[in-house]
Amino acid sequence: MKLVFRFLVLAALLSPIISSAQSSQEKGLEIAKKMKARDIGWGNSQSEMVMTLRTKKGQEIVRQMRNKALEVEGDGDKALTIFDTPLDVKGTSFLSFSHTVGNDDQWIFLPAVKRVKRIASRNKSGPFLGSEFAFEDLSSFEIEKFSFNFLREEEYNGTTMAVVEMDPVDKYSGYTKVQAWVDLEHYRPHKLDFYDRRDTLLKTLTISDYKLYKDKYWRADRQSMINHKTGKSTDIEVKNLEFDVGLTDGDFNENRLQRIR
């Protein structure tokens, strides 16, 4: 009888530890699902973008781009980016098909070589046209691509946020984990820390200047990625974002990349 009593006491002591470990994963997944749920049904959009590449010493290169995006029911989003200036990247176009399961499909057309190149899965951790964004950073957020763990709540920019760790399931990812700061009112990410394959902090992305569209969808006007190892950074500023512009699946075709203007 004493043995049973001791077992019950031990189980009672351990149960908070076990449930705590389980609930942190469940809570992380719950937050991720709320993030995704707030971004369903937006349809299609187009915008102009300004990408600024900055060296450690502050030297800048500014690029003008256009972006088109299409929501795909039951799968990840499709996105097309076209570079207009400067001359060394003019005419470059990048097409990305994000998927909930399996590898994303990505292609890039480089006018200098006049051919469309498919981005291999094992190369998606590489830099996107010399920026601090990797090819894998340009995919849409899909829950199936990560496992989640709620770490804590803390103040960030005067707002209480959940800090959620997201571990990529893709073996070719350049990251061991990504830590995201998510506000608990609208479930928008405000900061992401990216850890490299040595599990050291590699980059930080800050997302700001959110605006509300269609009375439901939040979009940020500015994203800033800094590389902590090189001191380089890349800013992306979004301008003239419009929804419901009539884009269809036919506007996102890898066979037409060479002809896009």
Query: Where do we find the tokens 């951790």?
Result: 125
List pLDDT tens digits, range 108-137: 999 989 899 999 999 999 999 999 999 999
List pLDDT tens digits, range 64-115: 999 999 999 999 999 999 999 999 999 999 999 999 999 999 999 999 898 9
In a domain, 103, yes or no: yes
In a domain, 30, yes or no: no
Q: How confident is the model at residue 9 (pLDDT cuts 50, 70, 90)?
A: very low
In a domain, 11, yes or no: no
Query: Does the pLDDT at position 10 exceed 60?
Result: no
List pLDDT tens digits, range 243-255: 999 999 999 999 9
Q: Does residue 8 come out as left (phi exceeding 0), alpha (psi in the -120 to 50 range) or beta?
A: alpha
Global pTM reads 0.90
List pLDDT tens digits, range 233-243: 999 999 999 99
Residue 245 sits in a domain whose CATH number is 2.50.20.10
Distance CA 192, CA 195 (A): 10
Other Cβ atoms less than 10 A from the Cβ of 47: the count is: 18
Q: How confident is the model at residue 22 (pLDDT cuts 50, 70, 90)?
A: low
Domain range for 198 is 37-259
Residue 258 pLDDT: 87
Residue 11 pLDDT: 42
Q: How many domains does the chain have?
A: 1
List pLDDT tens digits, range 151-199: 999 999 999 999 999 999 999 999 999 999 999 999 999 999 999 999 9
In a domain, 205, yes or no: yes
Residue 12 pLDDT: 44
In a domain, 13, yes or no: no
In a domain, 20, yes or no: no
In a domain, 10, yes or no: no
From the list 157, 241, 215, the residue with the least C-alpha distance to 191 is 157
In a domain, 252, yes or no: yes
